[in-house]
Amino acid sequence: MILNEFDYPLPKELIAQEPAKRREESRLMVLHKNNAIEHLIFKDIIKFLNPGDVLVLNETKVSRAKLVGKKATGGKVELIVEKKLSNSLCKCRIRATKPKIGNLLVFNSVEAKIVDKKDDIFFVLFDRDVNNILEKKAMLPTPPYIKKPIKDFSRYQTVFAKKEGSLAAPTASLHFSRDLLEKIARKGVSIAKICLHISFGTFLKVRAEQIVERKLHSEYFEISKEAAEIINKRKGRLFAVGTTVVRALESAADKQGKIKAMKKRTELFIMPGYKFKSSIDALITNFHLPKSSLLMLVCAFAGKERIMRTYREAIEKKYRFFSFGDAMLVFR
C-alpha cells in the first residue's frame, strides 16, 4: 500500500476556520450503497434513521491541556500536555523555534524546563503541580490547521461531552444539537454512548513503518455493559458517529461481531484490506486530512476509490473540510 494513494489537492479556502452558525446547519453529503450522492443539510440526517436503529456517540471531552508562553530567550512557545508522568513531569508537544533540552519555558508565573526529548515528544518538568497549572492557566488545544482564534470554545466540545481526556474533539459529533438528538430519540432510535480519548496522534501524518506494522498511536477507550447491550441487542442498523467510534467498536468486537464491555488502550490501525467485525452499517464523519489515518479508516470502511471520488466531488461542490467542516453519511 502506497501512502500517496490517500493524497489529494485541497484548496486552502476549503479548510474551515470556524464552525457553522448552528451545529445542525452544516452541510451533509450522503453516499448511498448504490454510489448515488445527495447534498443536504446535517439536520436532514434524521430521515435516514429508523426506529430500532442505534446511533453510537463518543462522549469524550476535550481537556484544557494547552499553555501559551515564551522561552527564557523571548521566543513564543505553545505547549500541549499529552500525558502526566508525575505531579510535575509531563510528556508534551511543543511548538516553538528550535526547542532544545535545557530550555527554560515561562508561562506567566509558572516556569518549566525541557529535560529530555524523544522524536517529537518533549519531557518537561514544571516548578509546581501540573494539575493546578492546567486548571488555572490552560486552554483547549486546537488543531494546527485552524489559524483563526476560536471565539466560542464551547463549539469545540460536543453537547454531550462528559469524560475529560481528549486532545481533540470527536468532530463528527459537533454537528449534533440537543434538539436534533431529542428528535432522533423520539423517532425510536436508541443512542449508545462510548468513550475514546483522542490523542494528538490524530493530527500526525502516517509513517511507512506504521503501515507495515499495522499499529497506530495508542488511545484509551471504554465501553460500558449498558452501551454494549444496546448495540448487541439492536433490531435495526448500526450508525457510528465518527472514526473514533469505529476504532473503539472494532477494538472491542469479538469474532462473532459482538461488542464486549471493556476499558483498555488500542493501537488498532484500520486501513484498506482490514476485515470489519462489528457490523457497522453507516458512518457519519467529517472530511479528513490527506494521508491521514482517519481518511484511511474511511476508505477501509467504504472503499478507497469510492471515497476518493466522493472527496473530489466535495471539493468541486466547495464543502468545508476538517474539524469545523461539513459531514458525510456513508452507507456500506
| Dist. CA 284–CA 246, nearest whole Å | 10
Task: Check if the beta carbon of residue 56 is closer than 8 Å to that of residue 238.
Answer: yes
Whether residue 209 is predicted with pLDDT greater than 90 in this model: the reply is no
Q: What's the average model confidence in pLDDT over 65-70?
A: 96
**To the nearest whole number, what is the mean pLDDT of the chain?**
96
Pair 314, 25: CB distance under 8 Å = no
For residues 38-50, give the mean pLDDT. Answer: 99
Residue 203 confidence class, pLDDT cut points 50, 70, 90: confident
Amino acid identity at 16: A
Burial (CB count within 10 angstroms: exposed 0-12, middle 13-18, buried 19+), residue 18? middle
Percent of the chain at pLDDT > 70 equals 100
E strands, 54-184, where? 54-58, 60-62, 66-71, 76-84, 89-95, 104-107, 110-118, 121-126, 163-166
| pLDDT single digits (tens) 129-169 | 999 999 999 999 999 999 988 889 999 999 999 999 999 99
8 Å CB contact between 271 and 214: yes
Average pLDDT for 302-311? 98
Q: What is the mean pLDDT of residues 250-270?
A: 98
Q: Is residue 46 classed as helix, strand or coil in its secondary structure?
A: helix
Per-residue pLDDT tens over the stretch 106-120:
999 999 999 999 989
Q: Which residue has the cell 474511511?
A: 298
Q: Which has the closest alpha carbon to 197: 227, 161, 145, 149?
A: 161
pLDDT at 58 over 80: yes
Average pLDDT on 8-21 reads 97
Residue 204 is predicted with a pLDDT of 82
| Cα separations in angstroms, 71 against 22, 65, 76, 98 | 39, 18, 6, 11
- DSSP E strands: which ranges in the chain? 27-31, 37-41, 54-58, 60-62, 66-71, 76-84, 89-95, 104-107, 110-118, 121-126, 163-166, 190-196, 215-223, 238-241, 262-268, 282-286, 327-331
Average pLDDT on 209-219 reads 90
pLDDT value at 212 more than 90: no
For residues 246 and 282, give the distance between their C-alpha atoms in angstroms, rounded to a whole number.
10
- Closest by CA to 274, choosing from 247, 310, 292, 244, is 247
Tell whether the model's pLDDT for residue 332 goes beyond 90: yes
Take residue 180 and report the three cell numbers written for it: 436534533
Set out the domains of the chain in order of their start, with CATH numbers: 3-62+150-331 (3.40.1780.10), 66-137 (2.40.10.240)
Instruction: Report strand pairing: 163-166 vs 89-95.
Output: unpaired
d(CA 28, CA 326): 6
The predicted structure's pLDDT at residue 23: 98
Closest by Cα among 272, 245, 119 to 171: 245
How confident is the model over 312-331, as pLDDT tens digits? 999 999 999 999 999 999 99
